[in-house]
């Protein structure tokens, strides 16, 4: 029969393994993958990066605004919208996505009914190149 001390070391190792992973030994630990939009600052500058805002369509509060930019074909692009009061607003509609084969990329979003009138701003980033434009609200 084994002594208590001879069982203590294997039990301690099992406890340590379970304590480190939160799972029983041999249970795979799930890995976390990034999902959803990346921030505009996360795009590294590419040598051929360029972007220009081609069209800005403002709107009254409650209406739909849009921005179209021209960039390198299939460049990854993101956008930030700053309301006239100066706050940068999160929006599910303002996600990162690639430009098409001609280098066109567009976003559409609803202007909050509570938004002030005046000039909002957008900042578009495609492969690290940036362009800004005013968005008329009112």
Q: How many residues are recorded in the chain? A: 138
How far is the C-alpha of 37 from the C-alpha of 45, rounded, in Å?
18
Domain(s) labelled CATH 2.60.40.1930 in the chain stretch across: 40-137
Is residue 22 predicted with pLDDT exceeding 70? no
Is residue 138 predicted with pLDDT exceeding 80? yes
Question: CB–CB of 68/124 below 8 Å?
Answer: no
Domain 40-137 class? mainly beta
Question: CB–CB of 77/69 below 8 Å?
Answer: yes
pLDDT value at residue 89: 80
Q: Who contacts 115 (Cβ-Cβ below 8 Å, separation ≥6)?
A: 61, 83, 84, 85, 137
Distance of alpha carbon 40 from the chain centroid: 7
Q: Who contacts 87 (Cβ-Cβ below 8 Å, separation ≥6)?
A: none
pLDDT classification of 44: cutoffs 50, 70, 90? low
Tokens of 37: 């939009």
The average pLDDT across 54-75 equals 97
pTM over 0.85: no
pLDDT value at residue 95: 86
pLDDT classification of 93: cutoffs 50, 70, 90? confident
Mean pLDDT of the chain: 77
When mean pLDDT is compared across 12-16, 38-42, 49-53, 101-105, the lowest value belongs to: 12-16
């Amino acid at each position: 029969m084994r002594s208590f001390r001879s069982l203590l070391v294997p039990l301690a190792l099992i406890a340590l393994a379970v304590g480190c992973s939160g799972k029983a030994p041999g249970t795979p630990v799930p890995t976390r993958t990034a999902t959803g939009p990346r921030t505009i600052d996360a795009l590294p500058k590419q040598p051929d990066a360029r972007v220009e805002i081609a069209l800005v369509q403002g709107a009254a509060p409650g209406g739909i605004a849009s921005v179209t930019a021209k960039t390198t074909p299939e460049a990854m692009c993101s956008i930030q919208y700053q309301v006239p009061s100066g706050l940068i607003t999160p929006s599910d509609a303002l996600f990162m996505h690639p430009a098409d084969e001609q280098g066109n990329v567009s976003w559409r979003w609803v202007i909050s009914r509570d938004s002030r009138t005046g000039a909002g701003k957008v900042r578009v980033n495609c492969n690290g190149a940036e362009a800004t434009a005013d968005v008329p609200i009112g």
